[in-house]
Each structure stands twice: as C-alpha cells, then as structure tokens.
C-alpha cells in the first residue's frame, strides 16, 4: 500500500533522513522504532507532506504523494495521528470529530463514522460536549485517533500514541491499535515504546540517525540481541 524508496529529507543543512526505503502492505501493522531524534516523526511528516522531501519517492497505492498537496492526502485514504495529539483545544470533542470528517460531504456517513468512533472509544461519547483542551492526555490521544478514523481511512500513521501516558492507558491504547489492525486498517506505527510496538506488529524497521539499520518480522526483532540491548532495555 505504502512504498517509500530512497527518501532523503533535510532541515536546512541538517540531513534528517539519509535515504530510507520501506514498505507497508495492505492490512499490515508495521512499526518504526528507534531512539529520540532518529527521524521517525520526520518520516511520517514527510509522508503526509507536512515536511518536503529532498529526494526519493513516496507512493500510496501507486499514487505519488510527493506530487499531492498535503491537504489532499487524507482524501486518498491516509490519515495521520500526529505526535502530541494536536487536538483542537478550543473545540468540543464532537466538533473535533466533525473536523476529522471535514472532507466527507455525506452526512449519513459522518453519522455512521461518529457512532463507530464512539463505539471504539466510549469515553469520548461521555465527553462529547467537553472542550478538547480540558481532556486528559489519554483522552486526547483517543480523540486524535478517533478524529483520524472519521474519514474511514484505509491506512493510519500513528506517531507516538503512548507518549506521556500511564501504563494502564498505554495498554488500552495498544489494544485499540490492535483492534483497528484486526478491523483491516493498514497501520504504520512510530513508537519509542519498542517492546509494546513489536509485540503487536507484523513487521518493524529500526531507524538510527536517519538510516534504517534493521528490519524484519516483529517477533524476530523482539528476540534480536542488538535490538534488545539498544531499545528494549534488556
């Protein structure tokens, strides 16, 4: 579904991504793990067009994302849940979800998606009138994910969904990611919590200072000595 080839990204003179290639197949849950500053978020931002690539190619089902205006990418079925949630703090939960469906014109579909999101995240339904800025971190994460689901995307980019959350909430978020995966949504997951990410993923890539240092089935990486030492604290 998603195919990245020889991608390079620079911020001014700083080369953040130095030629990575990766692929996510239909229905797969693939994670991208690595230390802080390795370029994980930059990779996702480049896919979504928030950061321009300097060279290389990014395609979604054969469509060139580098030639697609950033605001058109959601229309291709690719939704991005950014790091730090980025919910619209001064809008209510329900307004945030409505904004998630900004490109959807069909009112019945919006209603259907809203019900689906509330079914996945009952807590959002309870707080539908509350301002998003007043939600807890975990609730904001749920809202950001729910908002991304409003267009019924075929693929999700999840950036650090567990960041800053309590262990119980981390578990909850990961079990929801698994649910979404089981529902057939293709997912590219960026996580610092490598252990949890690998545990639910089909495959994974390890990003190290802008380069992919390792890749393979998640179970293999989970038991790889180098990965264990560097990212799993074992």
Partner 1 sequence: MGVFLQTLFVGLRLGSVYALIALGYTMVYGIIRLINFAHGDFIMVGGYTLIFTVPLMTAAGLPAWLAVVIAIAVCALVGVGVELVAYRPVRRKGTGMTALITAVAMSLFLENLAQAIPAIGPNPIIASQLFAPGGFRVAGVTLDFVTIYTIAVSAAVMLLLYVFTQKTRMGRAMRCVSEDKSAAVLMGISVNRTVLTTFAVGSGLSAVAALMYVAQYPKVYTTMGSLLGLKAFVAAVAGGIGLIPGAMLGGLVIGLVESFTTSYISSSLTDAVVFLILIAVLLIKPAGILGKNVGEKV
Q: Footprint of partner 1 on this chain (CB under 8 A)?
A: 48-50, 69-72, 74-75, 79-80, 82, 84-91, 95, 98-100, 102-103, 133, 137, 140, 147-148, 151, 164
CA gap 45, 147 in Å, rounded: 18
Instruction: Give the residue with the Cβ less far from partner 1, 72 or 171.
Output: 72
Q: Please identify, using beta-carbon distances, which residue of 140 and 186 lies nearer to partner 1.
A: 140
Q: Which is nearer to partner 1, 75 or 217 (CB)?
A: 75
Both structure tokens of 83: 């790091």
* Least distance (Å) between residue 148 CB and partner 1: 8
Q: Quick one: 114 or 222, whose CB is closer to partner 1?
A: 114
Smallest Cα–Cα separation from 117: which of 148, 90, 78?
148
> 41, 47, 51: which is closest to 11 by C-alpha?
51
- Could you tell me the smallest distance in angstroms from the CB atom of residue 88 to partner 1? 5
Q: Find out whether 39 and 209 touch, Cβ atoms under 8 Å.
A: yes
Cβ(151)–Cβ(79) below 8 Å: yes
Give the shortest CB-25-to-partner 1 separation in angstroms. 23
């Amino acid at each position: 579904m998603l195919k990245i080839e020889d991608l390079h990204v620079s911020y001014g003179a700083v080369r953040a991504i130095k030629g990575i290639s990766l692929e996510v197949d239909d229905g797969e849950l693939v994670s991208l793990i690595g230390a802080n500053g390795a370029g994980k978020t930059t990779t996702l931002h480049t896919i979504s067009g928030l950061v321009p690539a300097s060279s290389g190619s990014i395609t979604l089902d054969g469509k060139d994302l580098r030639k697609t205006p950033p605001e058109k990418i959601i229309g291709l079925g690719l939704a991005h849940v950014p790091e730090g949630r980025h919910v619209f703090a001064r809008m209510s939960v329900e307004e945030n979800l409505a904004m998630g469906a900004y490109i959807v014109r069909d009112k019945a579909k919006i209603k259907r998606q809203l019900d689906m999101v509330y079914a996945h995240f009952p807590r959002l339904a309870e707080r539908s009138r509350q301002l998003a800025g007043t939600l807890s971190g975990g609730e904001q994460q749920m809202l950001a994910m729910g908002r991304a689901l409003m267009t019924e995307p075929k693929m999700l980019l999840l950036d650090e969904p567990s960041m800053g959350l309590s262990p119980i909430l981390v578990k909850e978020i990961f079990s929801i990611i698994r649910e979404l995966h089981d529902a057939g949504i293709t997912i590219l997951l960026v996580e610092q919590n490598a252990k949890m990410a690998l545990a639910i993923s089909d495959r994974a890539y390890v990003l190290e200072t802008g380069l992919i240092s390792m890749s393979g089935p998640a179970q293999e990486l989970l038991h790889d000595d180098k990965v264990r030492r560097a990212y799993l604290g074992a």
